[in-house]
Amino acid sequence: MPNPVSFRYFKTSPDIIKLAVMLYVRFPLSLRNVEDLLHERGVDISYESVRYWRRRFGSQFASQIKKRRAGGMQSSNRKRHLGYIFNALARLSNSTATTSSSFLFLVFLALFLRKIRDLQQRCGADALHHLLYQR
């Protein structure tokens, strides 16, 4: 297992470092904009510090976020999600307010999702994910 992010030898709080890096990465802000935002909140840092922290910790923060996101979408959750979609489509197709074009769209969508569900049951969730999202 890779080492967790180490903030040893930094005078600045780890929360401030995380906030500065996330502001820079998540939003279309320049280094100086991040410096100004943090200065307005009473944190006095240089834009060079933000640049250094982003270079040092950015990839580690990104890998942690990816692990958290991937942990939330296990194969059982994906199967359950497809089940919810099928139930919603069944309710929509049975309602009287749908027009013919939206009904056709729902039918095609249901057929496509049924194919995905059948593939998922036949070859497993991981193999299906690889087939659908291969580059």
What stretches in the chain show pLDDT beneath 50? 1-2, 135
Q: Tokens 């309710």 label which residue?
A: 91
Among residues 35, 4, 5, 41, the alpha carbon closest in space to that of 20 is found at 35
List all residues 6 or more positions away from 98 whose beta carbon is below 8 Å from its beta carbon. Answer: 92, 106
Among residues 27, 24, 29, the alpha carbon closest in space to that of 51 is found at 24
Identify the three-state secondary structure at position 35.
Answer: helix
* Predicted pLDDT at 46: 94
Half-sphere exposure of 85 (CA within 13 A, CB side): 16
* Predicted pLDDT at 111: 75
Q: Can you tell me the distance from the alpha carbon of 135 to that of 129, in angstroms, rounded to the nearest whole number?
A: 12
**Which tokens sit at 112?**
């496509």
pTM score > 0.75 for this model?
Answer: no
